[in-house]
Amino acid sequence: MSHKHSNNPFKKHHEEEEVKETTEKAEETDKPEEIKTESDEINSEFDKLKEDYDKLNNQYLRLAADFDNFRKRQEQERENLLKFGLENTMKKMIEVLDNFERGEKALENVEDCQKVKDSFNLVHKQTLETLTKLGLEMIDAENKEFDPNLHEAVMRTPTEDHPENTVISVLQKGYKIGDKVLRPALVNVAAAD
């Protein structure tokens, strides 16, 4: 009698063990693939981040170099402007110097004081005109209200003739270029009795 199905308990148990082993082996082989997949994803993400970092770092280096070049160009332009401005100023002041020398020669044998005075006034006027063309402005102070931004009070005189804090007299003229005060006017200011 032969049976297709065996009732042998050992054989049955053996078959179950083989199925179990096969399943475990399959599960074990699945896990490394999962690990490999995660590892590949991490590596891929790392590579992308590294690429982004390199790209940003290169952009930063280029930007830093551009800024440094810009700063150097600005510095050079500023130096050139100052040099050019000084050069123009000196050219205009040389003309004044020439007139002083001409006046000195013309006055060598002059006995008349009026001619000396006229020559002096002429050169003074030219100097003032030249400096005005360069942007120099005299600070108007006399009979104005005292302004500490434009005036420097070196005296305070009690008086009833002028309102308090009014400039009575200018002891030394002040000058400015635009809004920048080069030298404040030295003034005498009215004070209350």
What pLDDT is stored for residue 17 in this prediction? 64
Of the chain, the end-to-end C-alpha distance in Å amounts to 148
Banded pLDDT at 127 (limits 50, 70, 90): confident
Q: Are residues 99 and 146 part of one domain?
A: no
Q: Is the dihedral of CA 12, 17, 18, 20 positive or negative?
A: positive
- Say if strands 136-138 and 175-177 run parallel, antiparallel, or are unpaired: antiparallel
Which residues constitute the domain of residue 53? Answer: 9-134
pLDDT at 41 over 80: yes
The enclosing H or E element of 170 equals strand 167-172
DSSP 4: S
**Phi-psi category of residue 6: left, alpha or beta, with phi > 0 → left and psi -120 to 50 → alpha:** beta
Distance separating alpha carbons of residues 119 and 100, to the nearest angstrom: 9
Residue type, 183: R
Q: Does residue 3 fall inside a structural domain? A: no
What pLDDT is stored for residue 1 in this prediction? 46
- Give the residue, 27 or 139, on which the prediction is more confident: 139
The enclosing H or E element of 193 equals none
Q: Are residues 171 and 128 part of one domain?
A: no
Average model confidence (pLDDT) for the chain?
80
DSSP helix/strand/coil, 45: helix
Q: Are residues 122 and 34 part of one domain?
A: yes
Q: Are residues 66 and 144 part of one domain?
A: no
Q: Does residue 28 fall inside a structural domain? A: yes
Count structural domains, the chain. 2
Q: Are residues 23 and 100 part of one domain?
A: yes
Q: Are residues 141 and 119 part of one domain?
A: no
The residue out of 134, 162, 181 marking a domain boundary is 134
Q: Are residues 81 and 16 part of one domain?
A: yes
Q: Are residues 73 and 162 part of one domain?
A: no
Residue bearing tokens 């108007």 = 140
Q: Does residue 2 fall inside a structural domain? A: no
Q: Are residues 127 and 147 part of one domain?
A: no
